[in-house]
Chains A and B, each alone.
Chain A
Amino acid sequence: MVTASSQAPMPNGVMVGGIDDFPVGEFKILDVKGREIGVYRTTDGRWFAARNLCPHRGAPLCRGSVGATMLPSDPMEFIVGMDQEVVRCPWHALEFDLKTGESLFTDSTLRIGVHNVVVQDGNVWVDPRPKPSTRN
């Protein structure tokens, strides 16, 4: 439920709807101050937001799948990790960390735009400013 008295939990935050407006396990793509941003709600109650644009070839990133990935491992060993924290581009299957935006486990320096999401009083807020890189 959207209430007029909601205070933004972050400066310039944009309230994008109530919790129930967001289906679990899929991106909902919104226009947030002129940027296309996909908001994703995980089955265990975490929220991610990513810009709907892959920096590699310009794909609509949020048409890609969100899930786990294989962590670097020894030959013929598979270690599943990062459940619901990885978005795979629908075109070249490049993987990005939804928490930081960074490319995963390759020498690629490509990075997607990711945004803070805060749920407060049943409302979902997105920071329209992308998170800074965590790399040096």
Chain B
Amino acid sequence: MTDVIDANSSRGAAPNNPAVGAIDTDVHIYAPEGMKSLYPYLPAGLRKTFEMRGTTASGYIWVPQKYDFPHGDRRRVDTFPPGGGPPGSDPKFAQADLLDRYAFSGCVMSSLEAGLAGQGFFGVDASSAVCAAYNKVALEWYEVDKRFRLAMVVSSVDVEGAVAEIKSMGKHPGVVAVYVPLTSVPLGNKHFYPIFAAAQEMDLPIFLHITAAEFTHQGVPMAPFGTMENFSERRVSYAFLGPPVLNSLMFNGVFERFPKLKFAFAEFGFSWAVGLMCRMDATWRFARAGTPWVKRPPSEYVRERVRFGTQPMDDPSPEDMSKLISLLGPECLMFSTDYPHWDLDAPGHILSGESDETKRMIYRTNAQETFRW
């Protein structure tokens, strides 16, 4: 006779799970009740204005509906916690559904709702307070399971507030990076240097991730190639957001100015980085005298101090992926799933053509050496 079974049960690690002990460097959490969950941590006046206006935060962002995700929601249908609330809002469920299921030794969480706050969506003056409240909610997860580590978010539009938050929250053992949301100011601009200095002082790398507001509002990065017409065009365009960020950091001398600072690019992809490094190296040879503070070939700085999350993997054959990883340098990659989002990469289904040594680096040790683990 046949048994009716849990629809999620077949989803699990492969029999020879290569990801035992892995660190998942891109996991997203959501406040269970949006802005209401932050109330206990907000200054009274700010809380009152949000209450009066019914500001929700989790609902959660207006973007043109021509960009709707294939399933409507960016979050996976099978990650809604049985007890209610949005995916990524229940640490006990995520602990079982992600960390235990795949036997991960840790993960790096970020909140994209909080990233919006850091981009100034609630206003410049409120941005640091809302970011700080999100950090406090997120660090409650660390108390549930020490494997939940946080890329603490800071405001990119209130640098003074961001520095204060790094100095206070950056000491927390659950914090492993500083998440700096992208704005219309290029990341290599001196506007960000106080944030970089504070992060370097705390031995924390800079974590970069899109919030999905990019290209849709003034104040966040706008596309140099005009607006996009549909979801496919927009999803591909996220791979075009990484190059200008890295280009700006490189030729404004950020790697020399902050000699210990590392950068983690999460969910930008990485296939573009190979071509970009070639272009930067060639340009540096021709035009070095214009930026003499770039003392070494740009690709050397990248291989030393820039790391890319593996998700979303562009899907060539395993043989072509091996060539790509070899051109990039396996030291540059860190495994990531993007849980609980729809286009995640599950362990055991990626990196099948890599050597055991490369897998060990990508699944675990590169992340250990990059984040303050």
Residue B78 contacts which of A14, A28, A63, A93 (CB distance < 8 angstroms)?
A: A63
Residue A60 contacts which of B10, B71, B342, B350 (CB distance < 8 angstroms)?
A: B10
The verdict on B344 contacting chain A, using a C-beta distance below 8 Å, is: yes
CB distance from A16 to the nearest CB of B (A): 5
> How many angstroms from the CA of A57 to the CA of B71 in the assembled complex?
17
- Given A58-B349, A63-B78, A91-B343: A16 touches B2 (CB 8 Å cut-off): yes
> How many angstroms from the CA of A38 to the CA of B12 in the assembled complex?
17
B8 surroundings in chain A (CB, below 8 A): 60, 63
> How many angstroms from the CA of A16 to the CA of B56 in the assembled complex?
47
Interface size on B, residues (CB 8 A): 25
A36 surroundings in chain B (CB, below 8 A): 5, 9-10
> How many angstroms from the CA of A101 to the CA of B316 in the assembled complex?
22
CB distance from B101 to the nearest CB of A (A): 11
> How many angstroms from the CA of A17 to the CA of B3 in the assembled complex?
10
- Given A30-B5, A57-B345: A93 touches B11 (CB 8 Å cut-off): no
> How many angstroms from the CA of A52 to the CA of B5 in the assembled complex?
11
> How many angstroms from the CA of A89 to the CA of B38 in the assembled complex?
34
B342 surroundings in chain A (CB, below 8 A): 90-93
Chain A residue with Cβ nearest B349: A57
The verdict on A8 contacting chain B, using a C-beta distance below 8 Å, is: no
> How many angstroms from the CA of A64 to the CA of B71 in the assembled complex?
9
Beta-carbon contact of A93 and B2 below 8 Å: no
- Given A16-B2, A91-B76: A29 touches B7 (CB 8 Å cut-off): yes
- Given A56-B349, A60-B8, A63-B8: A90 touches B77 (CB 8 Å cut-off): yes
Size class of the contact patch on chain A: 20 to 34
Chain B residue with Cβ nearest A17: B2
The verdict on B348 contacting chain A, using a C-beta distance below 8 Å, is: yes
B344 surroundings in chain A (CB, below 8 A): 57, 91
CB distance from B97 to the nearest CB of A (A): 12
B10 surroundings in chain A (CB, below 8 A): 36, 52-53, 58, 60
Chain A residue with Cβ nearest B8: A60
CB distance from A82 to the nearest CB of B (A): 17
Chain A residue with Cβ nearest B345: A57
B14 surroundings in chain A (CB, below 8 A): 58
> How many angstroms from the CA of A27 to the CA of B348 in the assembled complex?
26
Chain B residue with Cβ nearest A31: B3
Chain A residue with Cβ nearest B9: A36
A57 surroundings in chain B (CB, below 8 A): 344-346, 349-350
> How many angstroms from the CA of A91 to the CA of B78 in the assembled complex?
9
A58 surroundings in chain B (CB, below 8 A): 10-12, 14, 346, 348-349
- Chain A: residues with CB nearer than 8 A to chain B? 14, 16-17, 27-32, 36, 38, 52-53, 56-60, 62-65, 88, 90-93
With A28-B4, A36-B9, A60-B8 already in contact, 14 other A-B pairs whose C-beta atoms are closer than 8 Å? A29-B6, A31-B3, A36-B5, A36-B10, A38-B7, A58-B10, A58-B12, A58-B348, A59-B11, A59-B346, A60-B9, A90-B76, A91-B343, A92-B343
